[in-house]
């Protein structure tokens, strides 16, 4: 069991203990009150006294239920109503159908004949701040140029990905509710468009991701987005300013991986879905989490908590 799994188990146990403790405390208090009433009460000897005793018992039951509901209500988490949602792409809106692969980058490296570990090694060096994000893109570009990647190859790779079930229907519902939708990703704009389809800009007010520049079918440059990792928080701040919202808390960010963990620094609400490489129970970073297979489940969750 790794550290993230241990932390997840620990937080699950804490949550279970907290909920169980509430029930136990309310039961103990109720028992004390009931015992006190029984000690003070005299057993009925006629009909009038029996009615009084019965009314006292019903009053006790009513107060116990009221007390229990009060605990539930005041311990329930509340959320500011949202005006905009910012989605990640890989693992959040789409999934890879190749076993043991999760991101578009991993599959590109593999399909070009490299090892997936080559992709991971560059990523680790970037995380260790050995080079900048654009330098990372430049090194990746050189590797891809050696294999003569083309737009057609990107289209072929897109076939290995699919949107989660119900994604477009769920986003249609959110747009009908007046929610602004944005997409911000560490993937590639062209690949996202191939996976989603030609109607992508009918759903999102803006899309930010890395861009592949081709000239006569040959890759010339990978333009790294400034809105990945720490940049995700900056993009959310820009939405907050441009939409003239009351606070960044009116924005919900939905992601699933470690490059999404910076979003909370913007002040937005954060929701971790189908987590990978992150601890979804870290409340400093993720305000809530959810695992799902169909976007209908996510839509119901959003409508119940944020709308």
Tens of pLDDT, residue by residue over 251-280, are 999 999 999 999 999 999 999 999 998 999
Contacts of 247 (CB under 8 A, 6+ apart): 80, 240, 267
Q: Are 258 and 274 in contact (CB under 8 A)?
A: no
Tens of pLDDT, residue by residue over 47-98, are 665 566 567 667 767 776 676 666 655 555 566 799 999 999 999 999 999 9
Q: Which of 54, 57, 49 is nearest to 33 (CA)?
A: 57
Contacts of 112 (CB under 8 A, 6+ apart): 143, 144, 147, 149, 153
Q: What gap in Å lies between CA 197 and CA 190, rounded to an integer?
A: 10
- 206-215, strands of its sheet edge to edge: 218-223, 206-215, 180-188, 84-87, 251-255, 269-273, 288-290
CA distances from residue 194 to 141, 160, 188, 254 in whole angstroms, order as listed: 20, 11, 10, 21
Continuous segment of H or E residues that includes residue 226? none
Tens of pLDDT, residue by residue over 201-221, are 999 999 999 999 999 999 999
* pTM of the model as a whole: 0.76
Confidence of residue 19 (pLDDT cuts 50, 70, 90): low
Average pLDDT in the chain? 86
pLDDT of residue 85: 98
pLDDT of residue 74: 55
């Amino acid at each position: 069991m790794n550290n993230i799994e241990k932390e997840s188990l620990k937080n699950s146990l804490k949550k279970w203990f907290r909920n169980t403790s509430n029930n136990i405390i309310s039961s103990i208090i109720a028992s004390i009150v009931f015992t006190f009433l029984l000690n003070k009460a005299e057993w009925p000897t006629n009909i009038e006294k029996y009615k009084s005793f019965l009314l006292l018992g019903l009053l006790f039951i009513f107060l116990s239920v009221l007390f229990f509901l009060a605990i539930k209500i005041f311990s329930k988490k509340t959320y500011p109503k949202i005006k905009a949602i910012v989605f990640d792409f890989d693992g959040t809106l789409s999934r890879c159908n190749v076993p043991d692969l999760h991101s578009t980058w991993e599959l590109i490296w593999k399909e070009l004949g490299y090892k997936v570990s080559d992709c991971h090694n560059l990523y680790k060096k970037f995380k260790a701040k050995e080079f900048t994000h654009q330098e990372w893109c430049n090194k990746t570009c050189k590797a891809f140029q050696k294999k003569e990647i083309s737009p057609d190859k990107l289209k072929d790779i897109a076939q290995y990905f699919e949107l989660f079930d119900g994604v477009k229907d769920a986003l249609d519902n959110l747009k009908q509710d007046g929610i602004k939708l944005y997409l911000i990703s560490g993937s590639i704009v062209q690949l996202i468009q191939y996976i989603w389809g030609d109607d992508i800009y009918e759903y999102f007010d803006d899309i930010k991701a890395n861009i592949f520049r081709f000239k006569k079918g040959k890759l010339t440059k990978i333009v790294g987005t400034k809105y990945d990792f720490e940049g995700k928080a900056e993009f959310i701040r820009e939405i907050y300013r441009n939409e003239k919202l009351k606070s960044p808390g009116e924005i919900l960010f939905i992601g699933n991986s470690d490059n999404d963990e910076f979003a909370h620094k913007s002040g937005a609400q954060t929701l971790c879905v189908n987590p990978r490489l992150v601890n979804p129970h870290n409340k400093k970073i993720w305000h809530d989490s959810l695992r799902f297979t169909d976007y209908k489940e996510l839509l119901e969750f959003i409508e119940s908590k944020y709308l």
